[in-house]
Amino acid sequence: MKKISIIAALFICAAGVINANANTTTRRSEISVRFDEKVKIKKEDLPEAVRTALGGNDYNGWEISEAYMYKEAGTYEVELKKGEEKKTVKLDKEGKVIG
């Protein structure tokens, strides 16, 4: 009777270890990282709404030095220059400033 109890206990422990390993493997396979491709574009290729936003009072005197588009998100990153000063602005396709 003791042998059956010991064998049953070992079987339950082994099943628990196998199940824990299976869960760990499943969780690892669910993790994915997405990278959005940043592509340099001409300032003329910026959407009209973005160009209009950058032409407003907040950016008076600033000139576009570089422009990039994030393909997946459809957002834009624009590097501005005013004399020696530089800044970067991120906008959505409607010209609204984001993050």
Residue 21 shares a structural domain with residue 45: no
- Give the pLDDT of residue 31: 63
State the burial class of residue 50 (Cβ atoms within 10 Å of its Cβ: 0-12, 13-18, 19+). buried
Residue 49 shares a structural domain with residue 76: yes
Segment 83-92 shows an average pLDDT of 97
Cα 68 to Cα 39: distance, rounded to the nearest angstrom:
5
Number of structural domains the chain divides into:
2
Segment 71-87 shows an average pLDDT of 96
Q: Which residue has the higher pLDDT, 30 or 73?
A: 73
- Say if 79 falls within a structural domain: yes
95: phi > 0 → left, psi -120 to 50 → alpha, else beta; which? left
Residue 17 shares a structural domain with residue 57: no
